[in-house]
Amino acid sequence: MTSFRFRPGRLPAHCAAFVMPFVLSILMSFIVSGVSTLKSLGISAAFLSTWPWAWLLSWLVAFPTLLLVLPLVRRIVSLVVESAPR
């Protein structure tokens, strides 16, 4: 008997330029908005009701910002970090 495992398709390699900043912006804005909201409100019911909206607003700023600044960041990194030997 063979087992069947569902494996969703993967995106083509050229999508990485958008998927990486998408995932990074979700994770970073989630953490930063959580820390900021927690510092402002403390652990409370207000924190739990405020954080999701704070995260959403943060993410709406973070994702397009990452799309704009990542090419600049890559250039800066290439100036600071030595290229891998071939």
This model's pTM is above 0.85 = no
Using an 8 Å Cβ cutoff, are 29 and 58 in contact? yes
Q: CA 26, 28, 30, 33 torsion: positive or negative? A: negative
Q: Residues 21-50: pLDDT tens digits? A: 999 999 999 999 999 999 999 999 999 999
Give the Cα-Cα-Cα angle 21, 24, 27 (nearest 5 degrees).
150
Using an 8 Å Cβ cutoff, are 47 and 41 in contact? yes
Q: Residues 54-68: pLDDT tens digits? A: 999 999 999 999 999
